[in-house]
Amino acid sequence: MTDCKLTINGKDYTLKVEEKWTLLYVLREVLGLTGTKEGCGTSDCGACKVLVDGKAVNSCSLLALKMEGKKITTIEGIGSSDKPHPIQEAFIEAGAVQCGFCTPGMIISTKALLDGNIDPSEEEIREGLSKNLCRCTGYVKIIDAVNIAAAKIKELK
C-alpha cells in the first residue's frame, strides 16, 4: 500500500492504495462513491466517466496513484437530489434517463462538452457523447437533454 492524496469533488483525501488500483476501484470500493458505474472495465462504454481537470475520462482505466494533484469530479460532485445541476435537470425533463446506468457518465461527458462549448451543434453533441454507450434510449432524448441543458446554463449566466 502506498499513500495517495486525492482531491475529489473539492474534498482532499489521504488514502492508502495499492499500485494497481484504478480510480474507479478507489471511488466505488474505498470511498463508497457509487454514482460512478462500471459497465465494461475496458474503457469502451463510458459509464465510469469522471472529470479529471475538466476532461471527461474513463476512471476504470486510470491508476489512482497517477491522479495525485489533479482535480477529480464525480457525478456526486455535479449536483445532488437536493440541488441538481441544470444538466441533471435537463436529463430528467427530456426523458434521457431510463435505466440510469449510463446516465452519470453521460452527464459527465455533457458537462465537459458544455464547459468547452455552450452552443454545440447536433453533430458536436453526438461527437461529445460518442464514447458513452446507452442501450435504452437510442440517444435521441439524451441529445435533446444536452440542448435543454445548454439553454438552461445560458439562461443562468
Contact residues for another protein, defined by CB under 8 A:
18, 20-21, 25, 28-29, 32-42, 44-45, 47, 74-76, 78-81, 84, 88, 91-93, 95, 97-104, 107, 125-127, 129-143
Distances (CA, A) of 78 to 3, 41, 56, 58: 27, 23, 13, 16
Give the C-alpha separation, 52 to 131, whole Å. 16
Give the C-alpha separation, 55 to 65, whole Å. 18
Question: Count of CB atoms within 10 A of residue 123's CB?
Answer: 8
Pick 14 or 81: Cβ nearer another protein = 81
Pick 69 or 138: Cβ nearer another protein = 138
Distances (CA, A) of 75 to 101, 107, 121: 12, 8, 24
CB of 112 to another protein, least distance (A): 14
CB of 13 to another protein, least distance (A): 18
Q: How many CA atoms does the CB half-sphere of 98 hold within 13 Å?
A: 9
Pick 6 or 104: Cβ nearer another protein = 104
Pick 23 or 69: Cβ nearer another protein = 23
Pick 49 or 69: Cβ nearer another protein = 49
Distances (CA, A) of 36 to 81, 90, 95, 97, 151: 16, 19, 20, 15, 26
CB of 89 to another protein, least distance (A): 8
